[in-house]
Structure 1
């Protein structure tokens, strides 16, 4: 995700830095990253993309399958997951795109299929397209709106405090 104007803003803030402004913005950016994680998790739940909870839980700061990076001087924030299938849930994917059928051993437990490589029963999968639910796209759209509004408030607060409005 790229936010237009952030590099220019950071350059101006570095020039204006007196008395720990960069540290204040780093803390604010960290908070914004945590809010983005909340938005992603809310979208995953809203789109009913929760089965085992692995995808949902991969978007947490500090999770081993998570990608959450912050850095000090350049005020960098990077949020994501390292789960391979996260993009399939968002974008959609084909199962057996060449039309062949595939046997999967296991058993049904209620409405959920449990894979068991040693089972003598199972199910036959045929080619089909699984629609993505757009959880990431929705979360980014909401976050960009929230980020812009929050950044405006933060800058106005700083201007008011330092230039006595």
Structure 2
């Protein structure tokens, strides 16, 4: 009995076992991480919850205040930001913790408040709940759908490159 294509399939398996598959998987994982960061930035812009570029730019690979950890062998990827206020913007927060009013030193320049710790004037912040924008949660929901489809397509492609047709 002769199986057509078996030798080619064996060579493809040997190539995959030699690390080619691991390198391709690591590259795909990094591309997936970049896609997720794009979604996070898009959702952050869409939520209109920021007035500076600091948080937005923290969601880039290699950015200051970012988190980007990959482990190629175990195919692990950790993405995020080290900016504390990102969770407040996403989840919501109280303007004042325990007190009912918090004094913030500073002054008004037109309608804009300027924080100045040495000022004798300022404003009183009353305790209120600020709803979160859910930018991270929304991006994660979108990404989970995209990731599943991408993973299925990638696995099919990898399996097809391993052996073609045996028969």
Give your verdict on TM over 0.5.
Answer: yes
Distance, in Å, in 1 between the alignment partners of 2:160 and 2:37 is 30
* Gap change, CA 1:109 and 1:155, over 3 Å in 2: farther
Measure the CA separation in 2 of the matches of 1:55 and 1:118.
27
Contact 1:107–1:119 (CA under 8 A) maintained in structure 2: yes
Gaps of 5+ in 1: 1-15
Match of 1:13 in 2: none
Number of the residue aligned with 2:124 = 124
Alignment of 1:132-143 (within 5 A): 132-143=132-143
Residues matched between the structures, number = 151
Change (3 A) 1:109 1:55: farther
Residue number in structure 2 paired with 1:164: 164
Q: SS of the counterpart of 1:151?
A: helix
**Residue correspondence of structure 1 range 99-118 to structure 2 within 5 A:** 99-109=99-109, 112-118=112-118
Aligned to 2:47: 47
Aligned mates of 2:38, 2:151 — CA distance in 1: 18
Partner of 2:6: none
Where 1:61 maps in the other structure, the secondary structure is coil
Question: What is the alpha-carbon distance in structure 1 between the residues aligned to residue 72 and residue 162 of structure 2?
Answer: 23
Give the C-alpha shift of residue 99 in structure 1: 4.7
Q: By how many angstroms is 1:114 displaced? A: 2.4
Runs of 4+ deviating beyond 6 Å: none
Question: d(CA) in 2 for partners of 1:80 and 1:99?
Answer: 31
**2:149 equivalent in structure 1:** 149
1:38 matched to 2:15? The reply is no
| Unaligned ranges ≥5, structure 2 | 1-15
Q: Which has the higher contact order (CA 8 A, sep 6+)?
A: 2
